[in-house]
């Protein structure tokens, strides 16, 4: 697939979608839960929040507390997931996400959710944001390694039945963008966090994304 950078057009046969920061704004919940965690461990919250976006909780904890046994990270990750799932206050769609998801479904563009959240958290947040769940979901339970490992995106492409080069990733975080690149995919960076991370195309949100059927199983996505 090719990009025409002059008019910000990409073509793809399938789309792989991160959730938090890409489709759903859950920053308020994430910050509340991780601030409590940072305070409990005597860590600077400003440094903690730089790490956690895009990664599974245990992977973030391993970066922030490198000497701690992984068993403790996995245990606290389960607690973190439960706390986040119980807190949906302030969860809203990213601007343009409802229309974007409707366009994907209406055009029957193959797409999958690839998220570091588990099934309960992803189900809850998508519902809180008023967004429908794709038929294909790659969640925390589906993979053995967290982003920035490419496993999730590669699994998503495989489940949809497409080569990585035919897939377009939508991501907001450094870990997610690195994962998409490592999977051999082009990446649309969404939001302020993604702007400085060198995605193939950057958009402030999803309001300016337009999708058209290009024929032959290809879809044209225009960004502007």
Of 205, 208, 209, the residue nearest 220 (C-alpha): 209
- Distance, CA of 6 to CA of 26 (rounded, Å): 33
Of 58, 82, 81, the residue nearest 71 (C-alpha): 58
Cis check for the bond before 148: say yes or no (omega within 30 of 0): yes
CB distance 73 to 110 below 8 Å: no
CB distance 150 to 182 below 8 Å: yes
Q: Which of 18, 118, 149, 166 is catalytic?
A: 18
pLDDT at residue number 190:
97
Residues 6+ apart with CB under 8 A from 40: none
Architecture of the structural domain at 3-26+91-223: 3-Layer(aba) Sandwich (3.40)
Describe the strand order of the beta sheet including 111-114 as a list of residue ranges: 136-138, 111-114, 14-17, 167-171, 186-190, 201-203
- Distance, CA of 123 to CA of 89 (rounded, Å): 15
Q: Which of 7, 20, 118, 204 is catalytic?
A: 20
118 is catalytic: no
Q: At which residue do the structure tokens 């998220």 appear?
A: 115
172 is catalytic: no
Q: What is the DSSP letter of 142?
A: G
Which tokens in the block code for residue 70? 């992984």
pLDDT tens for residues 66-108? 999 999 999 999 999 999 999 999 999 999 999 999 999 999 9
- List the domain boundaries for the chain: 3-26+91-223, 27-85
Work out whether strand 9-12 and strand 218-223 pair parallel, antiparallel, or are unpaired: antiparallel
pLDDT at residue number 7:
56
- Distance, CA of 157 to CA of 139 (rounded, Å): 14
Residues of the chain falling short of pLDDT 70: 1-7
pLDDT tens for residues 134-143? 999 999 999 9
pLDDT at residue number 33:
97
Answer positive or negative: Cα dihedral of 180, 47, 129, 86.
positive
- Distance, CA of 160 to CA of 180 (rounded, Å): 16
């Amino acid at each position: 697939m090719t990009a025409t950078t002059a008019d910000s057009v990409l073509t793809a046969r399938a789309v792989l979608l991160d959730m938090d920061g890409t489709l759903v704004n859950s920053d308020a919940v994430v910050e509340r839960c991780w601030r409590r965690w940072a305070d409990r461990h005597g860590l600077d919250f400003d440094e903690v929040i730089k790490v956690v976006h895009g990664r599974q909780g245990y992977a973030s904890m391993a970066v922030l507390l490198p000497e701690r046994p992984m068993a403790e990270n996995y245990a606290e990750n389960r607690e973190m997931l439960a706390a986040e799932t119980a807190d949906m206050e302030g969860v809203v769609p990213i601007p343009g996400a409802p229309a974007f998801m409707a366009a994907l479904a209406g055009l029957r563009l193959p797409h999958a959710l690839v998220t570091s959240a588990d099934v309960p958290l992803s189900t809850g947040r998508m519902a809180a944001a008023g967004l429908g769940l794709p038929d294909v979901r790659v969640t925390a339970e589906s993979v053995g390694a967290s982003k920035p490992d490419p496993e999730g995106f590669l699994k998503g492409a495989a489940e949809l039945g497409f080569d990585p080069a035919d897939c377009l990733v939508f991501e907001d975080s450094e870990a997610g963008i690195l994962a998409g690149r490592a999977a051999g995919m082009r990446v649309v960076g969404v939001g302020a966090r993604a702007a400085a991370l060198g995605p193939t195309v950057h958009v402030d949100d999803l309001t300016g994304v337009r999708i058209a059927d290009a024929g032959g199983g290809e879809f044209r996505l225009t960004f502007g």
